[in-house]
Chains A and B, each alone.
Chain A
Amino acid sequence: MTEEIIIAGFGGQGVLSMGKILAYSGIMQDQEVAWMPSYGPEMRGGTANVTVILSDSRISSPIIQEFDTAIILNQQSMDKFESRVKPGGVLIYDPNGITHHPTRKDISIYKVEAADTAAAMNNAKTFNMIVLGAFLKVKPVVKMENVIKGLKKSLPERHHHLIPMNEQAINKGMEIVAKVG
């Protein structure tokens, strides 16, 4: 099994750390992982994206043109990555701030109102974990227990008391994700 994912949005949304937690979760279930961020001028323009690959075998190219799943969190990223989902693949997006919704008919499209939900939960910082929950509901590529282990690995110990809150946010994302196309 190989899952090739792009997570794309604004800097500060937790795109890179969400990718890191996903990668650590893969390690926890003995998979090969690659995490390749954008670090160029696009990053300095405020957008951030990361490719995460989880695989049962040796990972070849960390640079890929097409993805099994695209997780899209702003309009610029929608413009850039909708066309790069493999036919039959998955696109998950937060409609908050999206003006041009995805139109492809050959992929499965899901929405997760993560920004609004995080605001309603009075904790904007759980935004990326709500999105992660939505992804894991649609594509259960890593087990929840391994996600928790991954969180423990990627968070410094002084933040470990926040893990239950993150778990709650992941569960919330699983609840609210909805198929739209």
Chain B
Amino acid sequence: MADYMLMKGNEAIAEAAIRCGCDGYFGYPITPQSEILETLALRKPWEETGMVVLQAESEIASINMVYAGAGCGKKVMTSSSSPGISLKQEGITYIAGAELPCLIVNVVRGGPGLGTIQPAQSDYFQAVKGGGHGDYRLIVLAPASVQEMYDFVDLGFELAFKYRNPAMILSDGVIGQMMEKVKVGEYKKRLTDQEIVERYGSWATTGKTPNRQRNIITSLDLDANRQEQFNLKLQRKYREIEENETRFELINCDDADYILVAYGSSSRICQKAVDLCREKGIKVGLLRPITLFPFPTKAIQSFVGKVKGFLTVEMSAGQMVEDVRLAVNGQCRVEHFGHMGGVIPSPNEVVKALEDNFIKG
């Protein structure tokens, strides 16, 4: 009991960054994620672990600071909300193109444009399909609780370094602003340059030693054939990530006639909807993707022939629904229910949407 702390999702991100041995945070304030930078400023980790915390002059500056830190093999991160993440896209595609590890946190708000400060999930396409230019992918984690906000910072860094690829935590205003109890972990030491080389190989610019070539961090190669070979290598890496790192949770799916598919805060709303449906005698389950890239395609496919339909619930016009439809490839009905612009669906509305789509008429 005493081990638990009551924290906002945003505060959990900051606490986890300090404790997992993060070397640097570079950000710029924006609602609904400003508590990440605020908590870091209050905690003063530069006195405790030596972690750098810097409020940059803009979102664009902060992602380029992350690019530089990542090039040195450091555990570096940034966070923002939707409009700010759009500004960071150039830096993100350069980081992906240079095969560098870093963590980006998006506490999503309604869009498009400046939109609203209220929660939304309308940045799914941007997060999982690329976002910036070029054929690249982020590893995208979707926390559904404050504990997962905490846990996924360490996990995000771990995956980012394992695959030398940027990772993103795709959250939203509900999870960012909500307080729940959190079990915090032990402090991990920040790595020295020597330890970075030992653990992750010698790709980083930690200083040239006499017995190796210079390490060059770049996303530019003007030779078309070499650039294609590099792209093929990236694609092999993404397939490997799909093979090894797909994560999802199944709730009451064993005997389900219908399956709700939802991530993040929508999945919490859907858990309640599952309970309400079961009380009415409708056999409903929930499939919660924990990784959005890689997407749990095979898990969804495995229910084809067993269930009568899928309903995705998203705070968007329907984005993830496209990936669910690709997974079932026309072999099962897939419908979408959602709200946009900061309106949050209620569990009762989800139940009604399921009944309207699949049961009545």
Interface residues of A (CB under 8 A from B): 20, 23-24, 27-28, 30, 32-37, 39-41, 59-65, 153-154
In-complex Cβ contact of A64 among B116, B181, B274, B346 (8 A): B346
A60 B272 Cβ-Cβ under 8 A: yes
A61 B181 Cβ-Cβ under 8 A: no
- Inter-chain CA distance A66–B116, complex, in Å, is 25
B177 A37 Cβ-Cβ under 8 A: yes
Interface residues of B (CB under 8 A from A): 1, 4, 6, 31-32, 116-118, 173-174, 177-181, 265, 268-269, 271-275, 342, 344, 346-348
B346 A65 Cβ-Cβ under 8 A: yes
In the complex, residue of chain B having the shortest beta-carbon distance to the beta carbon of A44: B117
Q: Which of A36, A39, A60 has the most CB of B within 10 A?
A: A60
In the complex, chain B residues whose CB is within 8 Å of the CB of A41:
117
In the complex, chain B residues whose CB is within 8 Å of the CB of A64:
272, 346-347
If the complex has contacts A60-B275, A65-B348, are A27 and B178 also in contact, measured as CB distance less than 8 A? Answer: no
B181 A33 Cβ-Cβ under 8 A: yes
In the complex, chain A residues whose CB is within 8 Å of the CB of B32:
39
In the complex, chain A residues whose CB is within 8 Å of the CB of B177:
36-37, 39
Could you list 6 further interchain pairs (A-B, Cβ under 8 angstroms) beyond the known A35-B178, A63-B344?
A: A35-B180, A39-B31, A41-B117, A60-B275, A62-B265, A64-B346
In the complex, chain A residues whose CB is within 8 Å of the CB of B4:
27
Interchain residue pairs A-B with the least CB separation, the first 8: A60-B271, A35-B179, A61-B272, A60-B272, A61-B269, A65-B346, A36-B178, A40-B118
A34 B178 Cβ-Cβ under 8 A: yes
- Inter-chain CA distance A101–B289, complex, in Å, is 46
Query: Distance (Å) between the CB of A57 and the closest chain B CB?
Result: 11
If the complex has contacts A63-B346, A65-B346, A154-B6, are A27 and B174 also in contact, measured as CB distance less than 8 A? Answer: no
In the complex, chain B residues whose CB is within 8 Å of the CB of A30:
1
In-complex Cβ contact of A36 among B116, B174, B271, B272 (8 A): B174
If the complex has contacts A39-B177, A62-B174, A65-B346, are A20 and B6 also in contact, measured as CB distance less than 8 A? Answer: yes
In the complex, residue of chain A having the shortest beta-carbon distance to the beta carbon of B348: A65
In the complex, chain A residues whose CB is within 8 Å of the CB of B174:
36, 62-63
- Cross-chain pairs A/B with CB under 8 angstroms, 29 sampled: A20-B6, A27-B181, A28-B1, A30-B1, A32-B180, A33-B6, A34-B178, A34-B180, A35-B178, A35-B179, A36-B178, A36-B179, A39-B31, A39-B173, A40-B116, A40-B342, A59-B180, A60-B268, A60-B274, A60-B275, A61-B269, A61-B272, A61-B273, A61-B346, A62-B178, A62-B265, A63-B174, A63-B268, A63-B347
In-complex Cβ contact of A62 among B31, B118, B268, B275 (8 A): B268
In the complex, chain B residues whose CB is within 8 Å of the CB of A61:
268-269, 271-273, 346-347
In the complex, residue of chain A having the shortest beta-carbon distance to the beta carbon of B349: A65
- Inter-chain CA distance A61–B348, complex, in Å, is 11
If the complex has contacts A20-B179, A35-B178, are A153 and B117 also in contact, measured as CB distance less than 8 A? Answer: no
In the complex, chain A residues whose CB is within 8 Å of the CB of B117:
39-41
- Inter-chain CA distance A11–B348, complex, in Å, is 29
In the complex, residue of chain A having the shortest beta-carbon distance to the beta carbon of B32: A39
In the complex, chain B residues whose CB is within 8 Å of the CB of A33:
6, 179-181
If the complex has contacts A40-B118, A61-B347, are A23 and B179 also in contact, measured as CB distance less than 8 A? Answer: yes
In the complex, chain B residues whose CB is within 8 Å of the CB of A65:
346-348
- Inter-chain CA distance A33–B5, complex, in Å, is 11
In the complex, chain B residues whose CB is within 8 Å of the CB of A34:
178-180
Query: Distance (Å) between the CB of B245 and the closest chain A CB?
Result: 25
Query: Distance (Å) between the CB of A4 and the closest chain B CB?
Result: 11
In the complex, chain A residues whose CB is within 8 Å of the CB of B265:
62-63
In-complex Cβ contact of A23 among B6, B118, B272 (8 A): B6
In the complex, chain B residues whose CB is within 8 Å of the CB of A24:
6
In the complex, chain B residues whose CB is within 8 Å of the CB of A60:
268-269, 271-272, 274-275, 347
If the complex has contacts A35-B6, A35-B180, A39-B31, are A27 and B1 also in contact, measured as CB distance less than 8 A? Answer: yes
- Inter-chain CA distance A179–B197, complex, in Å, is 70
In the complex, residue of chain A having the shortest beta-carbon distance to the beta carbon of B31: A39
In the complex, chain A residues whose CB is within 8 Å of the CB of B346:
61, 63-65
Q: Which of A24, A30, A36, A59 has the most CB of B within 10 A?
A: A36
In the complex, chain A residues whose CB is within 8 Å of the CB of B118:
40
If the complex has contacts A60-B272, A61-B268, are A153 and B6 also in contact, measured as CB distance less than 8 A? Answer: yes
In the complex, residue of chain A having the shortest beta-carbon distance to the beta carbon of B271: A60
- Inter-chain CA distance A32–B348, complex, in Å, is 22
- Inter-chain CA distance A50–B116, complex, in Å, is 20
